[in-house]
Amino acid sequence: MKTQTYYLNLGPQHPSTHGVFRIILELDGETVVKATPVPGYLHRGIEKLAEARTYTQVIPYTDRMDYLAAMLMNWGYVKAVEDLMGVEVPERAEYIRVIVGELSRIASHMIATGAYGADIGALTAFTYTFRDREYVLDLLEMVSGSRMTFSYFRVGGVAEDLPEEFYPAVKKFLAELPGMCDEYDGLITGNEIFQARTKHVGIIPPEVGINYSLSGPTLRGSGVNYDLRKVRPYSVYDRFDFDVPLGKNGDCFDRFRIRIEEMRQSGRIIQQALEQMPDGPIQAKVPKVIKPPVGDAYAEIESSKGVYGCYVVSDGSPKPYRVHFRRPSFINLGYLGKLCEGWKIADVVAILGSIDIVLGEVDC
């Protein structure tokens, strides 16, 4: 029998492409023959905009990349500028950065977990994670004044010290965090239907993951132990005791499960950071008008989606000559086309969700 393939345009407006992402699917019945990802619908030209702003004024724009983990986006940029200027960040500021950064990571992973549940069809998981994320956002709002786009980091430190009411609130949250994770595990991870949908689906072999420069939970799901916080510790991460959860098969289920485990580990890191936190200044001595010397610097941090890098070139003026962001979501998408081949339409959604993209970051 002669059959014909047809094209299905998944997105840019689609409930489960996590924003305005588009995949052109060539389908044979429900089976994907070829998938062509088309990013770029949310491109705002942040890198170009940064060239017309002073070094401090770029910080609010970095928020708008991965708006689910905005603290981490601030961090990578600020770190690159600090490297460029050779500024030593005070210790207390580093601890504050770790605390808010890990809180932001928890918030981001909560969305990844809940949105993945919704992608598979369990809508209740989505509301549960969003409900719990509100606690994290409350904490970050106490600190920075905003709930999503914090702009809390400054070159050489952070904007303000942690407020008094933050400490009891964060302790309460940390006490509840394992219970929250257990609830997600019980509702989603342990569910047999969910496992049937995600286990052995969309397998990324470890060597392919490395070759495609994947990072974050997407890479660690394949069992590659590569977490910048461990392998190349920045800030004060070498002082904390935490595990890097790894997957075995590199399938959607592993990538999903790792995020819940990472939330627990982030909780441990925050706990230790709170105990070890010293007193002291929160801002290094940085001139009001930041004028780094001529040169360039590249800094990398482990964001919630993977390795987030920032490259800053200075020509000695108060504005950066060039800023480039290595956005993990975008690079993790590189293998999506091949990954989807041979799976069903529903699996495309599952695979895309397991990579956990944020369109603000993909299109920058």
Partner 1 sequence: MFGQGLLKGLEITWGRMLGKKQTVKYPFEKIEMFPRFHGRFQLDVDKCIACGLCANACPNKVIQMEKQKVDNKQYLTKYVMRIEYCLFCGLCVESCNKDALKFSSVIDMNQYRREWVRLTLVDRPAPESKKTPEEAPAETAKEQAAAGKAAPGKEG
Partner 2 sequence: MVENIFVSIAAWLRGLLGGLGVPDLWNDVILMVVKLLAILVFILVNALWLVYMERKVAGYIQSRLGPIHVGPKGLLQTAADIGKLLGKEIILPKNIDLVVFLLMPVLIFVPPLVIFAVIPFGKDMVAVDMNIGVFYLIAVASLSTIIFWAAGWSSNNKYSLVGGMRSVAQMVSYELPLVLALLGVIMITGTLNMNEIVNAQKNVWFIFTQPIAFLVYFIAGVSETNRTPFDLVEGESEIIAGPYTEYAGMGFAMFFLAEYANVMIVSAMCTIMFLGGWLAPFGLDFVPSWLWFFLKMYLMIFIFMWIRWTYPRIRVDQLMAFGWKVLVPLSLANIFVTGAGMYIFRAIGW
Residues that bind partner 1 (CB under 8 A): 53, 56-61, 63, 124, 128, 131, 134, 138, 141-146, 149, 151, 159-160, 163, 165, 183, 186-188, 190-195
Is the Cβ of residue 11 or residue 292 nearer to partner 1 in the bound state?
292
Least Å distance, CB 111 to partner 1, is 17
- Helix, strand, coil proportions of the chain in percent (round to 5)? 50, 15, 35
> Rounded to a whole number, what is the largest CA-CA distance in the chain?
77
| Residue selected from 5, 12, 14, 298 as contacting partner 2 according to rule CB under 8 A | 14
Residue written as token pair 């904390």: 240
Whichever of 61 and 184 has its CB closer to partner 2, that residue is 184
Please tell me the distance from the alpha carbon of residue 265 to that of residue 243, in angstroms, as a whole number. Answer: 7
**Single-letter residue type at 57:** Q
Q: Return the number of the residue (191 or 213) whose C-beta is nearest partner 1.
A: 191
Instruction: Report what 119 binds from partner 1, partner 2, none; CB cut-off 5-8 Å by kind.
Output: partner 2
Smallest distance, Å, CB 32 to partner 1? Answer: 28
CA 310 to each of CA 176, 212, 281, 294, 326: distance values in angstroms, whole numbers, following the listed order: 34, 19, 26, 17, 6
Residue 160 interaction partner, one of partner 2, partner 1, none, beta carbon < 5-8 Å per kind: partner 1
53 binds, among partner 2, partner 1, none (CB under 5 to 8 A by kind): partner 1
Which of these segments, 41-49, 82-90, 121-129, 278-286, binds partner 2 (CB under 8 A)?
121-129
Residues in CB range of 291: below 8 A, 6 or more apart: 316, 317, 318
Residue holding tokens 């949105």? 115
What is the distance between the alpha carbons of residues 81 and 75, in angstroms, rounded to a whole number? Answer: 10
**Selection from 305, 300, 308 nearest residue 108 by Cα:** 305
Of 175, 196, 231, 294, the one binding partner 2 by CB under 8 A: 196
DSSP 32-66: EEEEEEE--TT---HHHHHHTS-TGGGHHHHHTTS
Site string for partner 2, 15-44 (x = CB under 8 A): xx-------------x--------------
Question: Contacting partner 2 (CB under 8 A), which of 142, 169, 187, 208?
Answer: 187
The site for partner 2 (CB under 8 A) is made up of: 6, 8, 14-16, 30, 117-124, 127-128, 131, 187-188, 191, 193-194, 196-197, 344-347, 349
